[in-house]
């Protein structure tokens, strides 16, 4: 066990010696790895913050029915009766136009602007809660919305959960895009590390031959190169995490100005420590695999 630890300690020391010998070359490689990892890491960080927001949004199936502006109380009563008679409706909430105007004044802070209007521009509205049913709920709601549009004095019918479904579909697309980007740039990182180790093996060809003459094993010769590849992956991932962390500051500042306009509060946060460690481990694995492939191939050519 002691001999094994001494060998690994020597491999680490040899890796650091080679880094001090050509620091600029390794620094540039680490920068390339960091830039390649920054893109998927940024996308993953944005998705990490947007997914809880999407889950917190109400996605209960609802349909909003808006009356024409000139509809009177009798029209609203007749429409309410027709809505209650619709199959699949769990409940109907009536929102008079005056109540809708009062809510808008309280929630948007536009009381002065709305008070300056000559009249109430909002119509009476109904919100229908739809019963969960077997089969395609979306198709059922579309059919119901089409029937409701035929009612007299109905100006507009809106399926309120549509935008939530669109947001969920957008998040699924973005997740797939991040995966594709990560796989593509991961291959690029392996190519960079592979080429770096290849150049190191060729540069230290004479040193490797002398080590073999003194009885050095293949594992002893390969170990410093493998450590160097893994170190490039870890340092590149660490730098990528730092860059994304610094980018969240100005991004949240700009986002704060936007959310204040809507009287909301939302900020992007860094991913948890466990996921950061997973990114570091994944980058180290890429560098480790690339270095093993490179050193095994090029040492075999030297035999």
Dihedral angle, C-alpha 272, 275, 280, 281, nearest 10 °: 150
Token representation of residue 177: 């895009």
Distance CA 63, CA 83 (A): 11
Q: Tokens at residue 239, please?
A: 């730098």
For position 285, what pLDDT does the model report?
92
- pLDDT value at residue 263: 44
Please give the tally of structural domains in the chain.
Answer: 2
Last residue of a domain, one of 160, 178, 206: 160
Do residues 49 and 69 both lie within one domain?
A: no
Task: Look at residue 281 in the predicted model and tell me its pLDDT.
Answer: 92
Alpha helices in 91-214 (DSSP H): 97-108, 111-115, 137-148, 162-203, 205-213
Report helix, strand or coil for 179: helix
Q: Which of 113, 135, 160 is the last residue of a domain?
A: 160
pTM: 0.65
Non-local (6+) Cβ contacts of 167 within 8 A are 54, 57
Q: What is the CATH number of the domain that holds 124?
A: 3.30.70.3040
43 and 153 belong to one structural domain: no
The pLDDT, as a whole number, for residue 47 is 85
What is the phi/psi pair of residue 206, to 5°?
-65, -40
270 and 187 in one domain? yes
pLDDT of residue 144: 85
Q: Which domain holds residue 85?
A: 62-160
Tell me: do 47 and 177 sit in the same domain.
Answer: yes
pLDDT of residue 46: 84
Residues 84 and 181 in one domain: no
User: In the prediction, which pLDDT does 7 show?
Assistant: 63
> Could you tell me if 117 and 203 lie in one domain?
no
Note whether 176 and 268 are same-domain residues: yes
Strand, coil or helix: 117: coil
89 in the same domain as 17:
no
Take residue 293 and report the two structure tokens written for it. Answer: 């492939």
pLDDT of residue 280: 92
What are the DSSP calls for 63-116, one per residue? Answer: EEEEE-TT--HHHHHHHHHHHHTSTTEEEEEEE-HHHHHHHHHHHHS-HHHHHT
pLDDT at 96: 86
Of 141, 160, 179, the last residue of a domain is 160
* Per-block mean pLDDT, blocks of 10 residues, the chain (303 long): 64 73 81 90 86 60 84 86 84 83 65 62 84 66 85 84 68 85 88 85 74 70 83 92 88 69 67 91 91 81 62
Q: What is the pLDDT of residue 278?
A: 92
Residues 137 and 199 in one domain: no
């Amino acid at each position: 066990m002691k001999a094994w630890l001494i060998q690994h300690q020597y491999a680490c020391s040899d890796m650091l010696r080679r880094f001090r010998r050509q620091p600029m070359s390794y620094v540039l490689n680490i920068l390339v790895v960091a830039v390649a990892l920054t893109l998927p890491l940024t996308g993953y960080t944005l998705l990490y913050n947007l997914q809880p927001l999407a889950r917190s949004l109400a996605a209960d199936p609802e349909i909003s029915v808006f009356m024409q502006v000139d509809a009177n109380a009798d029209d609203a009563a007749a429409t309410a009766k027709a809505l209650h008679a619709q199959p699949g409706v769990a409940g109907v909430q009536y929102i008079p136009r005056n109540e809708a105007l009062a809510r808008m004044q309280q929630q948007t802070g536009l009381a002065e602007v709305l008070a300056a209007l000559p009249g109430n521009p909002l119509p009476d509205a109904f919100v229908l809660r739809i019963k969960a049913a077997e089969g395609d709920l979306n198709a059922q709601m579309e059919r119901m919305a089409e029937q409701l549009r035929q009612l007299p004095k109905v100006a507009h019918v809106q399926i309120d959960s549509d935008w939530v479904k669109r947001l969920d579909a957008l998040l699924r697309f973005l997740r797939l895009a991040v995966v594709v980007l990560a796989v593509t740039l991961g291959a690029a990182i392996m190519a960079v590390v592979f080429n770096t180790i290849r150049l190191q093996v060729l540069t230290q060809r004479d040193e490797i031959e002398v080590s073999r003459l003194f009885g050095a094993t293949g594992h002893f010769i390969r170990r410093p190169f493998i450590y160097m590849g893994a170190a490039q992956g870890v340092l590149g991932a660490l730098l990528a995490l730092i860059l994304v962390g610094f980018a969240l500051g100005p991004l949240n500042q700009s986002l704060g100005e936007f959310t204040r306009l809507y009287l909301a509060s939302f900020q992007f946060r860094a991913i948890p420590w466990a996921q950061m460690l997973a990114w570091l481990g994944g980058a180290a694995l890429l560098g480790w695999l690339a270095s093993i492939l490179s050193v095994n191939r090029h040492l075999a050519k030297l035999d």
